[in-house]
Amino acid sequence: MTKNSPDKINSRNVKVDVRYLTRVEGHGNIVVDVKGGRLTKCEFQVIESPRFFESMLVGRSIWEAQHLTSRICGICACGHSLASIKAGEDALGIKPADETIMLRKLLLYTEILDSHILHIYFLVAPDLLGVPSVMPLIKTHRPVIEMALRMKKMSDYGGEVLAGRHIHPITCVIGGFTQLPSREGLEKLYKMMCDARADGDETVKILRTFKFPEFQRPTRYMSLTNDGEYAMYDGDLVVDGKDRVSDKKYKEVFSETIVDYSRAKIATIGGKSYAVGALSRFNNNGDKLNKKAKSVAKELGLKAPCHNPYLNTLAQMVEWVHCLEESIALMEKILKDGLSREKIVVASWPKRSEIGKIKYKPNTGIGCVEVPRGSLFHEYTIDDTGHIVYANCVIPTNQNMGNLEDDMRKIVPELLGRRTQEEITLDLEMLARSYDPCISCSTHLLDVKFV
Amino acid sequence: MKKQPKPKVAFFDFTDCEGCQLQLANMGNTFLELTELIDIVNFREIMSEKGEDYDIAVVEGSISTDNDVKRIKEIRAKAKILVAFGSCAAIAGVNGIKNRTSLEVAKERVYADKAHTINTIKVMPLDRVVKVDYYILNCPPYIPEIIAVFKSILMGKPYPLPNYPVCVECKMNENVCRYEKDQECMGPLTRAGCNSWCINNGNRCYACRGLLENPAADGAKEILEKYGLKVEDILNHFTLYNDPQGEKYDQEFAR
């Protein structure tokens, strides 16, 4: 080998050590070690400081759980709120009105719109355009960035109209909402959503020009599923489109183990890693997408089942279109029929005069929703005073962690000899980013009893 | 006039949900305008560039590991101005609930037999470890306040936090008092500045901004007594955001 030969020829020894992976939520490291052409270490380490939410919930009132668990994650605050509320209602035996559920679905759609666009433009696009972040793009691609911010603003405004704000929503509580969205706000949001269609079309065009790395690894894909619609707010759990079980039996579907190098536990189905998120939902429920979303999937060349994890970003765009169209349809219904205050509006806590009179019985409640990154579970056990004695939250990023490592184990040997160490590092960073990991969420989870 | 160089700003996150940084992205075009006045050199959540030369450090999250202590001291040493961004950084926020249980129990509950591998310490707001020059309160931060604080920083002026209760803003917004609606509310004891955000939206105040410096305990007590609320009832709510001032209140009310 000559002195000037590119190091890709000599990539029998590769060390990737990405400390504090950037452009993800939270702190994670990628550590890969190849010695003499053999992969000796391949880890995705979560090094975020643990937050102990499950411990913090113990002893708090069930009525406080939404407010507290919303703070698990700034980006999926509405999703955590909804999973928490569903678990709380399950434990308390409360059934919300259909109109409440409609508003919750709308709120969840706006969060998916918001998170997916953040991921596509701010976290993924810089890699595909060969820049280190969105900052240089503000100068070179200003109209596109302004469009991305406009799309983000639309979905963020959705949170504001429907729940007071998107980050740590105010009005969505056990039993309903503390306030109805204003007519004025709904009309403005409706207009913004209709206008966003053009931005969506433009984004699809941009995504078509991106070249994603080619990589295939079939795995197990888990998500909610629902006969009536593309499941987001509720449904049964399904793996690879079959073996449907109630979401209340989630502990029978997968199990979790603690690994030494990470603050997060790793989840497995039958001892094997699995994936959750946009691509899993698309693979399981793609036939339930609305017409527009199906045509966008076709335009982007996305077909179920898709086994390339890098294409999760495309599945997110398909879901963005789906959620936008579903939201517009729901908004049209709301604007036409109006909303019933009596059915929806509740106080966030029992009234003062009722405190002490309410009878609680010890019970366990489970709530699952599909959030941008996959299936999210909250489980609470309450005592006869309505206080939490046990809590468990299973976050999508944790479920994806084992799958990401298995992807890394397969892709690294494929890249050796073809790509430089620097290129391999970027490929792995992009792979991790494609899962849109939300590490701040994933660091407190987990029920010790699984182990 | 000679153009001043733009101040270099770095964003850092410690133990938290990263919602504070996301609020910046939610500022939309105002954020783009802000980037014309400042030069963002480090913002891990959205940037791969890692500038280590900065004038202003905007820090979110609480201190909860030995490594956090080391890191915040390093940041303080480099920054001319340090901003505590959001409730977790300013008052420890919901993270502080952890302190109400022994660390051993908390670790055991979450990590079981691997508990010994977890490095964690009592949760602290930034100013328990380093000097803080500006505070942006609220969970999540209130965008008009973010803008107001940045303006003060750029003009080289202090940003005095309001020292009156949320009730003042709530009255101006013509909300019906939660106590009149047979509910509870932390408004009478909580530092204003959020424009009574949660109450405007039909909920109650949860004290995410922390408590007033001067508790005006007599006034607050009067409200509580008027509505037949025991001091202990409301003290329970102090622990949600774990304001260190809660201890002070305890003493004030005990008098």
Return phi, psi of residue A38, to 5°: -115, 135
Q: From the CA of A58, how many Å to the nearest CA of chain B? A: 10
Which stretch, A38-52, A184-198, A383-397, A415-429, has highest mean pLDDT?
Answer: A184-198
Whether B212 and B86 map to the same domain: the answer is no
Predicted local distance difference test score (pLDDT) of residue A36:
79
Whether residue B106 has pLDDT greater than 90: no
CB A310: neighbour CB atoms within 10 A?
21
Return phi, psi of residue A230, to 5°: -70, 110
Whether B173 and B117 map to the same domain: the answer is no
| Chain A residues lying within 8 Å of B229, measured CB to CB | 352
Subunit contact A135:B49, Cβ cutoff 8 A: yes
| Tokens 């709510």, located at residue | B237
Domain boundary among B155, B174, B207: B155
Return phi, psi of residue A277, to 5°: 120, -165
The answer to whether residue B87 is domain-embedded is yes
How buried is residue B70: exposed, middle or buried, by Cβ count under 10 Å (0-12/13-18/19+)?
Answer: exposed
Residue range(s) defining the domain that contains residue B226? 166-254
Subunit contact B17:A440, Cβ cutoff 8 A: yes
Whether B178 and B129 map to the same domain: the answer is no
- A193-215 average pLDDT score: 95
Distance CA A421, CA A34 (A): 11
Domain boundary among B155, B187, B212: B155
With beta carbons less than 8 A apart as the criterion, state whether A110 and A116 touch. no
Subunit contact B45:A23, Cβ cutoff 8 A: yes
Distances from the Cα of A34 to the Cαs of A4, A28, A85, B165, B251, in angstroms? 22, 20, 46, 60, 61
pLDDT tens profile A307-360: 999 999 999 999 999 999 999 999 999 999 999 999 999 999 888 888 778 899
DSSP string, A400-415: HHHHHHHHHHHHHHHH
Mutate: best of A100, A117, A146, A352, partner B, most B CBs <10 A: A352
The band of A124, judged by pLDDT with boundaries at 50, 70 and 90, is confident
The answer to whether residue B1 is domain-embedded is no
Q: Quote the pTM value.
A: 0.90
Whether B15 and B124 map to the same domain: the answer is yes
- A395-422 average pLDDT score: 89
B176 touches chain A (CB under 8 A): no
CB contacts < 8 A (A, B): 198
| Chain B residues lying within 8 Å of A122, measured CB to CB | 25, 46
**Pick among 3.30.930.10, 1.10.645.10, 1.20.58.100, 3.40.50.12780: CATH of A53-450:** 1.10.645.10
How buried is residue A299: exposed, middle or buried, by Cβ count under 10 Å (0-12/13-18/19+)?
Answer: middle
User: ipTM score here?
Assistant: 0.88
Whether B185 and B246 map to the same domain: the answer is yes
- Helix and strand tally (H, E) in chain B? 11, 5
Subunit contact B203:A118, Cβ cutoff 8 A: no
- A113-122 average pLDDT score: 92
Distance of CA A386 to the CA centre of its chain: 29
Predicted local distance difference test score (pLDDT) of residue B114:
64
With beta carbons less than 8 A apart as the criterion, state whether B163 and B214 touch. yes
Say which of B43, B47, B201 has its CB closest to residue A178.
B201
Subunit contact B15:A348, Cβ cutoff 8 A: no
Higher pLDDT, B127 or A417: B127
Whether B193 and B122 map to the same domain: the answer is no
The answer to whether residue B249 is domain-embedded is yes
The answer to whether residue B46 is domain-embedded is yes
Distance CA A274, CA A43 (A): 16
Which two three-digit tokens encode residue A199? 């931005």
CA angle A94, A100, A106 (to 5 degrees): 135
Whether residue B1 has pLDDT greater than 80: no
Residue A305: asked if its preceding bond is cis (omega within 30°), the reply is yes
Distance CA B149, CA B145 (A): 6
Q: From the CA of A52, how many Å to the nearest CA of chain B? A: 7
Whether B99 and B29 map to the same domain: the answer is yes
Predicted local distance difference test score (pLDDT) of residue B111:
65
Which stretch, A126-130, A266-270, B152-156, B161-165, has highest mean pLDDT?
Answer: B152-156
Specify the amino acid at residue B182.
Answer: D
3-class DSSP assignment, residue A257: strand
B48 touches chain A (CB under 8 A): yes
B52 touches chain A (CB under 8 A): no
Subunit contact B65:A132, Cβ cutoff 8 A: no
Say which of B20, B111, B120 has its CB closest to residue A448.
B111
Predicted local distance difference test score (pLDDT) of residue A447:
26
Mutate: best of B38, B48, B104, partner A, most A CBs <10 A: B48
Whether B243 and B219 map to the same domain: the answer is yes
Subunit contact B109:A440, Cβ cutoff 8 A: no
The answer to whether residue B113 is domain-embedded is yes
Helix then strand then coil, in percent of chain A rounded to 5, is 50, 20, 35
Query: Of A161-175, A279-293, A313-327, B115-129, which range is least confident?
Result: B115-129
Q: From the CA of A291, how many Å to the nearest CA of chain B? A: 30
Whether B127 and B190 map to the same domain: the answer is no
How buried is residue A39: exposed, middle or buried, by Cβ count under 10 Å (0-12/13-18/19+)?
Answer: middle
Distance CA A388, CA A276 (A): 28
Q: From the CA of A23, how many Å to the nearest CA of chain B? A: 4
Predicted local distance difference test score (pLDDT) of residue A5:
39
Distance CA A393, CA A168 (A): 17
CA angle A197, A203, A206 (to 5 degrees): 150
The domain that contains B42 carries what CATH number? 3.40.50.700
pLDDT tens profile A378-407: 999 999 989 999 999 888 988 898 899 999
Question: Mean pLDDT, chain A, as a whole number?
Answer: 88
Which residue from B minimizes the CA distance to A451?
B112
Specify the amino acid at residue B229.
Answer: L
Distance of CA A389 to the CA centre of its chain: 27
Distance CA B238, CA B132 (A): 23
Which residue from A minimizes the CA distance to B116?
A260
Whether B139 and B181 map to the same domain: the answer is no
Mutate: best of A24, A49, A85, A339, partner B, most B CBs <10 A: A49
| Chain A residues lying within 8 Å of B197, measured CB to CB | 164-165, 170
With beta carbons less than 8 A apart as the criterion, state whether B136 and B85 touch. yes
Whether residue B84 has pLDDT greater than 50: yes
Subunit contact A349:B184, Cβ cutoff 8 A: yes
pLDDT tens profile A126-166: 888 888 778 788 888 889 989 998 999 999 999 999 999 99
pLDDT tens profile B27-41: 877 888 888 899 988
Higher pLDDT, A26 or B182: B182
How buried is residue B111: exposed, middle or buried, by Cβ count under 10 Å (0-12/13-18/19+)?
Answer: buried
- A174-187 average pLDDT score: 97
B253 touches chain A (CB under 8 A): no
The answer to whether residue B208 is domain-embedded is yes
Domain boundary among B155, B175, B201: B155
How buried is residue A24: exposed, middle or buried, by Cβ count under 10 Å (0-12/13-18/19+)?
Answer: buried
With beta carbons less than 8 A apart as the criterion, state whether A155 and A110 touch. yes
Which two three-digit tokens encode residue A237? 């759990």
Mutate: best of A24, A47, A52, A177, partner B, most B CBs <10 A: A52
Q: From the CA of B102, how many Å to the nearest CA of chain A? A: 10
Distance CA A208, CA A297 (A): 11
Whether B133 and B217 map to the same domain: the answer is no
Say which of B16, B182, B227 has its CB closest to residue A440.
B16
Contact residues for A315 (Cβ-Cβ < 8 A; gap 6+) = A277, A278, A279, A281, A282, A302, A306
Whether residue A100 has pLDDT greater than 90: yes
Give the count of domains, chain B.
2
Distances from the Cα of B121 to the Cαs of B68, B71, B72, B81, in angstroms? 10, 14, 15, 26
Whether B113 and B234 map to the same domain: the answer is no
Q: From the CA of A300, how many Å to the nearest CA of chain B? A: 25
Crossing angle for the helix pair B231-238 and B245-254, to the nearest 10 degrees: 170
Predicted local distance difference test score (pLDDT) of residue A213:
92
The answer to whether residue B2 is domain-embedded is no
3-class DSSP assignment, residue A361: coil
3-class DSSP assignment, residue A308: coil
3-class DSSP assignment, residue B94: helix
With beta carbons less than 8 A apart as the criterion, state whether B131 and B66 touch. no
